[in-house]
Amino acid sequence: MKNVTITLDEQTAARARVQAAEQNMSLSRYIGEVLRRELRHESEYEAAYRAWRQRKPFPLKGPPQRRDDAARRKAK
């Protein structure tokens, strides 16, 4: 584990203390868990994005449509 110093505004610090207490955690552990969860979510998102980008494009079916023709068809 690495010790770090952070600066929080009073309102954020107070809310974080309450949340930590509700989960029976120290403030330090609570902030570490929140940060770990956020970073894991970001990593999962990046991996999904990279996988999507690697997929090959698929052909669209049918002839290309003009924008105004498509809009007219939806209005009917």
pLDDT digits (tens, 9 = 90+) for 39-66: 999 999 899 998 988 988 888 787 777 7
Look up the domain containing 27 and give its range: 1-57
Any domain includes 72:
no
Any domain includes 63:
no
pTM of the model: 0.59
Any domain includes 65:
no
Any domain includes 64:
no
Count of domains observed in the chain: 1
Any domain includes 76:
no
Q: Give, in order, the Cα–Cα distances in Å from 50 to each of 9, 42, 45.
A: 36, 12, 9
Any domain includes 16:
yes
Any domain includes 33:
yes
